[in-house]
Amino acid sequence: MTTLRPEEAAYISRVRELAVDVLRPLTEECCEARVNRPLLRAMGDHGLLRDLFGGEADSPPTDAAAMRLCLLRETIASVSTEAETALALQGLGSYPILQSGQPETIDRWMTGVVRGHTVAAFALTEPRAGSDAAALDLRAEADGDGWRLYGDKIWISNAPEADVYTVFARTTADAGARGVTAFAVAGDAEGLSGSHLDLLAPHPIGRLRFEGVRVEPQDVLGELDGGFKVAMRTLDLFRPSVGAFAVGMAQSALDLTLDHVSRRHVHGAPLATLQSVNHTLANLATQLRAARLLVYSAARMYDDGASRSDITMAAAMAKLFATETAQVIVDQCVQLHGAYALERGHPLEHLYRDVRAPRIYEGASEVQRSIIARELFRQLGNAS
């Protein structure tokens, strides 16, 4: 590992042991593309969901540490992508509640989230608002002292099975990002329905329909018309950890490949004796280390309280480079395995499907490049 403190290395060892002994067996017992509630309960019982946010046991969590989140995601991803995804979706869906919810809203949902009893989801994307999240159409119409939600969401984590959704809706028309509000919406709310989506990577993702779903003043997360800030603060925290997820997958692929080329013989000698193979592996390992360093740097900046602009740019760089690099590493590892890695059920076949999505969700790579460029020019303007 790189740039890790002794206590962080010890934490990784503990998490990896739990992932191997407890989490991975539970992923093998549940159907794909559905919320694995026994897995989430096990994560809660062993304190992994608590580790997403910190705080004392049997009390609402306090806040999030980006480095701990990255170590969690990277370590679990190197063992089981299903377990990692379950943990990440739980954090992504609930962090806006912890970050911006009123005390009664936090009390209502967060204790169940960290125990693994309450499934959370982040509902931002819509059929016509993906990369341009400020173009949201889901509308919140005033209804007495509250609102009613009308519209659709798509590619939503844990939908339609979640117990609580962080939902972003338009409260002021024609106001772009400044007219969006975040709400905590119960999964069993009247007028809320949904369905599963069948995607390349078999994770619990779905669509939602809101037909007059009632939300109360206490359900608002943050300020009215301030939902975009809630979303961006959440993504600033979670984007480096998407990079950590990618790093964990890439590390798993590289480990599998090092073992394979050491045992696989071609023309009477191990593949590992070929210079072309060695050079490929050397390049992959170098790229992996660079990705890990970017992820850790972004996480440290978040935890150390760097400026919002610096955090946003570092998070975008970490997600961009790590996810793009992981795609290359997994692809090259498949190539070095040959046809073995194409068989359904082979670990690399599984990684090959899983590694594609992170380049799109939580802001596609093109979005990250735009964010980086925007922050570069903003910093240039501040310096002049």
Please write the tens of the pLDDT for every residue from 130-176.
777 778 999 999 999 999 999 999 999 999 999 999 999 999 998 98
pTM: 0.92
Q: Which CATH number fits domain 228-380: 1.10.10.60, 1.10.1740.10, 1.20.140.10, 3.40.50.2300?
A: 1.20.140.10
Common-topology check for domains 6-119 and 228-380: no
| From 223, 362, 366, 375, active-site residue | 362
pLDDT (average), residues 27-42: 89
What CATH number belongs to 121-224?
Answer: 2.40.110.10
What CATH number is given for 6-119 in this structure?
1.10.540.10
Average model confidence (pLDDT) for the chain?
93
Q: Is residue 1's pLDDT more than 60?
A: no
Does 202 score more than 80 pLDDT?
no
Is 324 catalytic? The answer is: no
pLDDT in tens, 108-136: 999 999 999 999 999 999 998 877 777 89
Written in H, E and C, the secondary structure of the chain is CCCCCHHHHHHHHHHHHHHHHHHHHHHCCCCCCCCCHHHHHHHHHCCHHHHCCCCCCCCCCCCCCHHHHHHHHHHHHCCCHHHHHHHHHHHHHHHHHHHHCCHHHHHHHHHHHHHCCCCEEEECCECCECCCHHHCCCEEEEECCEEEEEEEEEEEECCCCCCEEEEEEECCCCCHHHHEEEEEEECCCCCEEEEECCCCCCCCEEEEEEEEEEECHHHEECCCCEHHHHHHHHHHHHHHHHHHHHHHHHHHHHHHHHHHHHHCEECCEEHHHCHHHHHHHHHHHHHHHHHHHHHHHHHHHHHCCCCHHHHHHHHHHHHHHHHHHHHHHHHHHHHHHHHHHHCCCCHHHHHHHHCCHHHCCCCCHHHHHHHHHHHHHHHHHHHC
Q: Does residue 230 or residue 55 have the better pLDDT?
A: 230
- Taking the domains of the chain in order of start, what are their residue ranges? 6-119, 121-224, 228-380
